[in-house]
Structure 1
Amino acid sequence: MISNVMMAVQTNRKIQHLGTLDNQFRFLIDDKHVAYVTVEPGILPKGDWSFINFLSFPPGDWNRGHISKDQHTGSLAFSSISYNIVPGVEDIWHQTQIDHLEFERLGSLGRNVRIVTHPFFHHPVIIKFASFPCEIGYIETETTMYSRLQGTGISPKFLGHVTEEGRGVIGFILEIIMNSRPAEPRDLTICQEVLSRLHALDIKHGDIHKDNFLVQGGKAFLIDFEISYLCDEDKELELEYDHLKKLLAGA
Structure 2
Amino acid sequence: MSAILIFLAGVALIVVWWMARQRLTSKPWLETGQAGDLPRLQGSPLGAAKIGLGVFLAVVGALFALFISAYLMRMGASDWWGLPLPKVVWVNTAVLVASGAALQWAKIETRSDSRGSVNIALMFAALTAVLFLVGQVFAWWQLTEAGYVLAENPANSFFYLITGLHGLHILGGLVVLGRTIVRAQSGRSPETLALSVDLCAIYWHFMLFVWLVLLALFAGWANDFADLCRGLLS
Verify same fold: TM over 0.5. no
TM-score by length of 2: 0.25
Bigger Rg, structure 1 or 2: 1
- The normalised TM-score by structure 1 is 0.24
1 or 2 for the larger relative contact order (CA 8 Å, sep ≥6)? Answer: 2
Higher helix share: 2
Pick the structure with more strand per residue: 1
